[in-house]
Structure 1
Amino acid sequence: MGKTLVGTCSWTDPKLVASGWYPQGRRDAEGRLRYYAERFPVVEVDSTYYGLPSERNSLLWTERTPDGFRFDVKAFSLFTGHPTRTAALPADLRALHRGRPGDSGPGDPELLDELWRRFTTALEPLRRTGRLAALLFQFPPWFAPDDRAEAVLRQWSRRAAGWPLAVEFRHPDWWRPDLRQASADLLARLGMSTVSVDMAQSVADAVPPVDVVSTPRLAVVRFHGRSASWGSGSKEDRFRHTYTTDELTAWLPRLRSMAARADELHVLFNNCCADAAARAAETMSGLLAAPTASRTATH
Structure 2
Amino acid sequence: MTNILVGTCSWTDPALVRSGWYPRGRRDAEGRLRYYAERFPVVEVDGTFYALPSERNSLLWVERTPPGFTFDVKAYAPLTGHPVKQAAAPDEVWARFAAGIEPLRAAGRLGGVLFQFPPWFRPGVRAERFLEETAQRTAGWPVHVEFRHPDWWEERHRDLTGALLSKYGFAAVGVDMAQGLPASLPPVTPVTTPRLSVVRFHGRSVSWGRGSKEERFRYDYPRAELAEWVPRLRELAERVDRLHVLFNNCCAAAAVQASETMAGLLSPRSSPSSSR
- For residues 32-111 of structure 1, the aligned pairs below 5 Å read 32-86=32-86, 94=87, 111=89
TM-score normalised to structure 1 length: 0.90
Could you tell me whether the CA contact under 8 Å between 1:2 and 1:265 is conserved in 2? no
Name the CA distance, whole Å, in 1 between partners of 2:248 and 2:145.
Answer: 16
Q: Distance in 1 between matches of 2:169 and 2:119?
A: 22
**SS of the residue 1:179 aligns to:** helix
Show the 5 A alignment for 1:210-225.
Answer: 210-225=188-203
Q: Pick from 163, 184, 187 the counterpart of residue 185 of structure 1.
A: 163
Question: What code does the residue aligned with 1:183 have?
Answer: T
Choose which of 227, 232, 236 in structure 1 pairs with 2:210. 232
For 1:266, the equivalent position in structure 2 comes to 244
For residue 90 of structure 1, what is the aligned residue in structure 2? none
The answer to whether the Cα contact below 8 Å between 1:2 and 1:261 also exists between their aligned partners in 2 is: no
Q: Which amino acid aligns with 2:264?
A: G
CA-atom RMSD, angstroms? 1.3
Q: Unaligned stretches of 5+ in structure 1? A: 87-93, 97-110
2:184 partner amino acid: A
**3-state SS of the aligned residue for 2:208?**
coil
What SS class does the counterpart of residue 238 from structure 2 fall into? Answer: helix
Q: 1:231: how far off?
A: 1.4
Mapped to 2, the partners of 1:134 and 1:187 lie a distance apart of: 15
Q: Work out the CA distance in 1 between the residues paired with 2:180 and 2:39.
A: 33
Q: Are 1:205 and 2:194 counterparts?
A: no
CA apart distance, 1:258: 1.3
Q: How many residues align?
A: 276
For 2:126, the aligned partner's letter is R
- Separation of aligned partners in 1, 2:130 and 2:46: 22
Contact 2:265 2:275 in 1 (8 A): no
Q: Map Cα deviations across residues 112-138 of structure 1 (whole Å, 9 max, x no partner).
A: 222111111111110011100111000
Check conservation: 2:183, 2:209, Cα contact below 8 A.
Answer: no
Mapping for residues 117-266 of structure 1, pairs under 5 Å? 117-266=95-244
* 2:239 paired with 1:295: no
Unmatched segments (≥5 aa) in structure 2: none
1:298 deviation in Å?
A: 6.0
Return the offset for 1:24. 0.4
Q: TM-score, normalised by structure 2?
A: 0.97
Change (3 A) 1:2 1:26: closer
CA distance in 2, matches of 1:291, 1:12: 31
- Please tell me whether Structure 1 or Structure 2 has the larger radius of gyration of its CA atoms: 1
CA contact (8 A) 1:2 1:259 kept: no
Match of 1:277 in 2: 255
Secondary structure of 1:266's match?
strand
TM-fit CA distance, 1:203: 1.8
User: Structure 2 vs 1, CA of residues 172 and 27 (structure 1 numbering), >3 Å: closer, same or farther?
Assistant: same
The verdict on how the C-alpha distance between 1:184 and 1:56 changes in structure 2, with shifts beyond 3 A counting, is: same
CA positional deviation for 1:211 = 1.3
Following the alignment from structure 1 to structure 2, what is the Cα–Cα distance between the partners of residues 28 and 205?
Answer: 37
Deviation at 1:297, TM superposition (A): 5.7
CA change 1:297–1:22 in 2 (3 A) is: closer
1:103 alignment partner in structure 2:
none
Query: CA–CA distance in 2 between the matches of 1:214 and 1:118?
Result: 28
Deviation at 1:178, TM superposition (A): 2.1
* Alignment check: 8 A CA contact 1:2 1:263 kept: no
- The sequence identity of aligned pairs, in percent, is 63
d(CA) in 2 for partners of 1:295, 1:187 = 32
Distance 1:298 1:115, change over 3 A: closer
**Cα displacement string for residues 97-116 of structure 1 (whole angstroms, at most 9, x for unaligned residues):** xxxxxxxxxxxxxx222211
